[in-house]
Amino acid sequence: MRVEILSAEGKNISFPIPEFLADNPISLRLAASKISEHSPLRFTARDLKVILHTIKAYKRENGGDLLLVDVESSSGDKVKIWI
Amino acid sequence: MAQTLGKRISDSRKRKGFTQDQLAEEMGVSSQAVSKWENDISCPDIGLLPHLADFFGVTLDELMRGDQEKVAQVIPESERKDPNKMIMRIRVLSADGDKVNVNLPMALVKMGLQSGMLDSMVGGNENLKGIDFDSLVHMVEQGAIGKLVEVESADGDLVDITIE
């Protein structure tokens, strides 16, 4: 998984997250809690695990990285999540 | 970045579920030639373009200009790809200029519908709440691809959903 944040002011951050770090109970619980805290979406750690595994199965069959989310704000900030 | 002819050929071929070898055989060229087209190293001969367009079920203009993803169409059963290998592209352009693109594998959409998780996935966006994803999945299973949903809200937000 790779998260890229490109700010309108030119500050770019890209950080890879190894799969073993993303796909473990602690990370999934933390991610579920942060998603609930910062967005109207409601996922449990188990939901996120199922989602992650479904995406990994898709990648295995289709090859290559999947650009899951690509957001560009009106102020020019961009966030991309590759899996 | 604008999509190239090579990328359109590659996407159209994969959408039909053909390998480069199979497309090469259909067009009467070598598989290396197809590989060069798809990598934008060379272009198909001008005489081949109408055959390519016919083969992909698009007009010559769509093949050259890249508008085929906007055309909703039903693929014959014999040419359909496994729906689980397809992707649902949800694009939201808000009136205040925010752009959100979400690319969900169809397998994930189906799993989300079955488990009730899809509401959580799209529940954050008011514009997506009224969309009947069950019917969309059913349409895809019946061979529908392309832009299946295009909505403009009273607030000026644009939502479209394309299946590839």
Spell out the per-residue pLDDT of chain B, length 164, in tens: 457 888 889 888 887 778 899 899 989 999 999 999 998 888 999 889 988 888 887 778 778 877 655 678 888 888 888 888 888 988 888 888 888 888 888 888 888 888 777 776 665 667 777 788 889 999 999 989 888 988 888 888 888 899 98
| Residue B93 C-alpha, separation from nearest chain A C-alpha, in angstroms | 10
- Type of residue at B70: K
Spell out which residues of chain A touch residue B111, defining contact as CB-CB under 8 Å: 50-51, 54
Please report the pLDDT score of residue B33 as a whole number. Answer: 92
**Residue A45 above 60 pLDDT?**
yes
B107 and A54 in contact by Cβ < 8 A? yes
Domain interval for residue A32: 2-82
Could you state, in order of their start, the residue ranges of all structural domains in chain B?
5-69, 83-163
For residues B143 and B74, give the distance between their C-alpha atoms in angstroms, rounded to a whole number.
5
When pLDDT is cut at 50, 70 and 90, the band that residue A39 belongs to is low
> Which three-class secondary structure string do you get for chain B?
CCCCHHHHHHHHHHHHCCCHHHHHHHHCCCHHHHHHHHCCCCCCCHHHHHHHHHHHCCCHHHHHHCCHHHCCEECCHHHCCCHHHCEEEEEEECCCCCEEEEEEEHHHHHHHHHHCCHHHHHCCCHHHCCCCHHHHHHHHHCCEEEEEEEEECCCCCEEEEEEC
Q: Residue B30's pLDDT is what? A: 92
Residue B29 near residue B87, CB atoms below 8 Å: no
Cα angle: B26, vertex B29, B32; to 5 degrees: 115
Nearest to B98 among A67, A68, A74 (CB): A74
Give the distance from residue B48's alpha carbon to the nearest chain A alpha carbon, in angstroms.
28
Interface test with A, best of B19, B102, B128 (most A CBs within 10 A): B102
Per-residue model confidence (pLDDT) at position B37: 92
> What does pLDDT average to over chain B?
83
How far apart, in whole angstroms, are the C-alpha atoms of residue B18 and residue B79?
A: 9
Provide the pLDDT for residue B131.
Answer: 83
pLDDT tens for each residue of B31-64: 999 999 998 888 999 889 988 888 887 778 778 8
- Among B8, B128, B126, which Cα is nearest to B71's? B8
Q: Which two tokens stand for residue B125?
A: 């966006």
Give pLDDT, residue B121. 65
Using an 8 Å CB-CB cutoff, list chain B residues near A39: 124
The whole-number pLDDT of residue B24 equals 92
d(CA B71, CA B62): 9
Most confident of A17-21, A23-27, B9-13, B43-47: B43-47
Q: Would you tell me which CATH number, out of the four given (3.40.50.300, 1.10.3720.10, 1.10.260.40, 1.25.40.390), belongs to the domain B5-69?
A: 1.10.260.40
Chain A, nearest residue to B15 by Cα: A62
Least Cα separation, residue B63 to chain A (angstroms): 23
pLDDT for B12: 82
Could you tell me which of A4, A82, A35, A74 has the C-alpha nearest to residue B93?
A74
**Distance between B47 CA and the closest CA of chain A, angstroms:** 32
Residue of chain B nearest A62, judged by CA positions? B85
